[in-house]
């Protein structure tokens, strides 16, 4: 009896091994480091630019945004010969202590010349985001703002800017953030919204400066690729024949 059961099991295993490989689900993983901005080009990044805005009690004339020559020591060796590295600098001050903030985000100008936030789609399944940040020694908090595939904005803590000088800051994207839409319409991926810097209630609010360089993310670019992926973005022609 045992021999009969063994024979049946062997037959089932043989049949499974004979299934065509194209009928199976194949999971492919390919992690790539993708650059959002190295800040070496001060012109527009396609159809968007960096923009900054402050909360209610920001001082007159602030915040300021400007590009400067420079780079962290660990980045300088990556620059091509003859290329001068640049960083993005933001300077701000407030009229009083409290819950103050500034936001640095991609934006584009509308027909009236007003800057409108421009969220940037992030490819694949993002593992983490990292950026070089120059801290000014104040007790301010840097947060990463992302919009999930369902449209909700999440604020993820990155670092406290109480150090002085350059530091590479990495933030892991938690698994509970939905990075891919289940539906054919709407946003397909998670999007980068911007950076937010918040002051501690008792921290000084005189002039503070921060710099950014080498903003990139590590992502599994094959995370949302499947058999028939090319049909997801097909547009049906109105009035097309059957």
Residue 27 lies in a domain: no
pLDDT band at 221 (very low <50, low <70, confident <90, very high): confident
pLDDT score recorded for residue 11: 47
CATH number of the domain encompassing residue 112: 2.60.120.260
Angle subtended at Cα 201 by Cα 197 and Cα 202, rounded to the nearest 5 degrees: 115
**Could you give the count of Cα atoms lying within 13 Å of 232 in the half-sphere of its Cβ?**
15
What's the CA gap between 173 and 171, in Å, rounded? 6
Q: Is residue 58 part of a domain?
A: yes
Domain count, the chain: 1
Q: Which of the residue ranges 3-12, 53-62, 68-77, 182-191 would you say has the lowest mean pLDDT?
A: 3-12
What DSSP designation does 78 have?
Answer: T
Nearest alpha-carbon partner for 71 in 84, 80, 90: 84
pTM metric for this prediction: 0.79
Q: Is residue 218 part of a domain?
A: yes
């Amino acid at each position: 009896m045992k021999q009969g059961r063994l024979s049946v099991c062997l037959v089932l295993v043989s049949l499974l091994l004979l299934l065509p490989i194209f009928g199976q689900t194949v999971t492919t993983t390919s992690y790539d480091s993708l650059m959002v901005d190295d800040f070496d080009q001060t012109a527009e990044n396609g159809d968007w630019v960096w923009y900054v805005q402050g909360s209610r009690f920001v001082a007159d004339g602030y915040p300021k945004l400007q590009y400067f020559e420079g780079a962290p020591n660990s980045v300088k060796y990556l620059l091509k010969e003859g290329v001068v590295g640049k960083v993005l600098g933001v300077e701000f001050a407030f009229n009083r202590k409290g819950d103050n903030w500034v936001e640095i985000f991609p934006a584009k100008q509308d027909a009236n010349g007003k800057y409108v936030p421009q969220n940037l789609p992030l490819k694949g399944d993002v593992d983490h985001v990292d950026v070089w940040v120059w801290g000014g020694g104040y007790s301010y908090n840097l947060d990463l703002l992302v919009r999930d595939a369902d449209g909700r904005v999440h604020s993820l803590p990155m670092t406290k800017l109480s150090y002085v000088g350059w530091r590479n800051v990495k933030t892991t994207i938690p698994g509970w953030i939905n990075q891919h839409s289940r539906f054919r319409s709407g946003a397909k991926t998670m999007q980068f919204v911007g950076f937010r810097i918040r002051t501690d209630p008792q921290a000084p609010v005189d002039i503070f400066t921060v710099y950014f360089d080498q903003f990139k993310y590590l992502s599994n670019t094959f995370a949302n690729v499947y058999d028939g992926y090319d049909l997801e973005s097909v547009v049906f022609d109105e009035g097309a024949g059957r």
